[in-house]
Amino acid sequence: MSAARPLTDGVAANRGLLTLCAMLATLMQSLDGTIANVALPYMQGSLGASQDEVNWVLTSYIVAAAIMTAPTGWLTTRFGRTRVFVVAVAGFTMASVLCGMAQSIEQIVLFRLLQGMFGASLVPLSQAVMFDIYPVEQRGSAMALWGIGVMVGPILGPTLGGWLTQNYDWRWVFYINVPVGLLAVAGLLLFLPETERAPLRFDWIGFAMLSLAIGAFQMMLDRGSELDWFSAREIIIEAVLAGLGLYCFLVHFALAEKPFIAPSLFTDVNFVVGTTFIFLVGLILYATLALLTPYLQNLMQYPVLTAGIVLAPRGAGTMLAMFICGRLLGRVSVRVLVIFGFSVTIYSLYLMMGFTPDVAPRAIVVSGFLQGLSVGFVFVSLSTVTFATLPPELRTQGTSIYSLVRNLGSSIGISVTGALLIRNTQLNHASIAANVTPFNHALHSGIVARLWNPLHAGGAAALNAEITRQATIIAYVDDFKLMMLVSALALPLVFMLRKPANVSVAASSHDAVME
């Protein structure tokens, strides 16, 4: 079977089982990006590691996955998609077992590195398989099913990780992948036809330069807040290496006869616009989650499981939207669906701008559900239209770049909003404290005088804590406002999306998918 030909005819009888396998692989990888976060303190105590050392459990996975996402297209062309998919799932599962068995911080960092390398291709490969095994008129529904694993995994990861760690052991955060991985491997081996292989030369220079750029950039983002950004020599070196790697890659890309990434990908308008949108989706979704978790636990004093329960409706909104959107894609313009999704995102972030530590749980649930709903509509629509005009032979490479850009968006969003949170908290603290002096008569009467009297040591400490609390609340609101503005500014891009002209539509209703 040709790698450039869809698999719809050869797998019709096994489509449901292949869908399950693809979703399991996707869910396994997307969960592992966040499930280990809440277990870090337990790992630190069990392995006798410092805070700086245990953070490498996350950093090693992120960097390895980012670097190894890009070559997925070449690997499938050279070795066959089924073979690469099976090796990736099996390797990820084995690396998970090794992570659970680790006896030292050095071992678990090494095994997380392996886990990231094998897991990098799981999402793009599963997306490419789902796109190919379904006929054109069913691809919207297929992308909705597949998207559940991608978008719900990061949402449920902290909750599931907290539950496993508290009730069993942090090692079960990794062992839980074993049954899922074994089922996925068995299904892929039995039901997924192999694609033809082609002896394609690997562009080592392009890969090396892109790996340097991505690896150094991810390191900079991951370590920046911990090291106070550009005041640290390490961050400056990583920024220089990232810039140098990107420059060399772009020069090589422009001059090489057969560069590492096919230039024809970037002549497809839908692919370029869809990839830009998914960058913003990654930024908004993951940054919001990264902000809300400490907001609920630190400012509202929610236990970790309670915080997870309050955030769970976000995942419910995403799943509901994906099912609805999968049905609407053949009847409603993609532009309308994307505009609707981003509009709901803007509204949910507007609601979050009114959050205080006294906000009712119902308000958090409603805003989270709306944001999950919006992400579901945007994600399914983009996952369908972005690849609709790409030729089949570029689809796997396109999905790998798509996944890479989404992950970069999430890394940038988390780092930028985290840095702004710290900076704005300090600025707000200074601004509020400037008005708190012994001459402020508001501090000299009633309960305020008893609790926050700046003339006494205890009162001064309590007053400073309250000022810090108020400054942090304002800083969170500033971050939510920034993400709302980014969402609003992205809306005009939707009008650049084009109706697929080279796709043979099997159902007349599908003609309405683009205006």
- Is the CB of residue 282 less than 8 Å from the CB of residue 413? yes
What residue type is 147 in one-letter code?
G
**Cα 90–93–99 angle (5° rounding)?**
140
Per-residue confidence band for 457, with pLDDT thresholds at 50, 70 and 90: low
- Is the CB of residue 513 less than 8 Å from the CB of residue 496? no
State the angle between helix axes of 72-79 and 395-433 in degrees (0 to 180), rounded to the nearest 10: 160
d(CA 440, CA 359): 29
Nearest to 354 by CA among 174, 226, 477, 488: 477
* Host H or E run for residue 124: helix 122-133
d(CA 318, CA 348): 14
Q: For residue 36, give its domain range.
A: 1-199
Residue 490 has pLDDT above 90, yes or no: no
User: Residue 458: its pLDDT value, please?
Assistant: 62
Higher pLDDT, 50 or 51: 50
Q: Residues of the chain with pLDDT > 70: what percent?
A: 86
User: Residue 182: its pLDDT value, please?
Assistant: 92
Tokens at residue 256, please? 């090489």
Q: Is residue 346 included in any domain, yes or no?
A: no
Please enumerate in sequence order all residues whose Cβ is within 8 A of that of 303, keeping only pairs 6 or more positions apart, or say none. Answer: 297
d(CA 198, CA 388): 24
Three-state SS for 317? helix
- Is the CB of residue 280 less than 8 Å from the CB of residue 486? yes
Phi and psi, residue 328, nearest 5°: -80, -20
- The pTM (predicted TM-score) of the whole model is 0.75
User: Residue 89: its pLDDT value, please?
Assistant: 93
Q: Which DSSP string do the residues of 125-144 spell out, in sequence order?
A: HHHHHHHHHS-GGGHHHHHH
Nearest to 173 by CA among 337, 66, 258, 57: 57
Q: Is residue 388 included in any domain, yes or no?
A: no
Q: Is residue 377 included in any domain, yes or no?
A: no
User: Residue 414: its pLDDT value, please?
Assistant: 79
Mean pLDDT on 25-53: 75
Q: Is 261 left (phi over 0), alpha (psi -120 to 50) or beta?
A: beta
Please enumerate in sequence order all residues whose Cβ is within 8 A of that of 226, keeping only pairs 6 or more positions apart, or say none. Answer: 52, 55
Q: Is residue 114 included in any domain, yes or no?
A: yes
Residue 47 has pLDDT above 60, yes or no: yes
User: Residue 443: its pLDDT value, please?
Assistant: 58
Per-residue confidence band for 460, with pLDDT thresholds at 50, 70 and 90: low
Q: Is residue 498 included in any domain, yes or no?
A: no
Per-residue confidence band for 124, with pLDDT thresholds at 50, 70 and 90: confident
Question: Into how many domains does the chain fold?
Answer: 1
Q: Is residue 490 included in any domain, yes or no?
A: no
In angstroms, the Cα distances linking 298 to 83, 294, 307 are 46, 5, 11
Please enumerate in sequence order all residues whose Cβ is within 8 A of that of 310, keeping only pairs 6 or more positions apart, or say none. Answer: 296, 302, 361, 364, 365, 368
User: Residue 451: its pLDDT value, please?
Assistant: 59
Phi and psi, residue 34, nearest 5°: -130, -20
Q: Is residue 171 included in any domain, yes or no?
A: yes
* Host H or E run for residue 426: helix 395-433
Mean pLDDT on 486-506: 68
d(CA 417, CA 30): 21
Half-sphere exposure of 19 (CA within 13 A, CB side): 19
CATH number at residue 94: 1.20.1250.20
Q: Which DSSP string do the residues of 24-36 spell out, in sequence order?
A: HHHHHHHHHTTTT
User: Residue 452: its pLDDT value, please?
Assistant: 59
Q: Is residue 25 included in any domain, yes or no?
A: yes
Higher pLDDT, 85 or 300: 85
Residue 92 has pLDDT above 90, yes or no: yes
**Cα 52–56–62 angle (5° rounding)?**
140
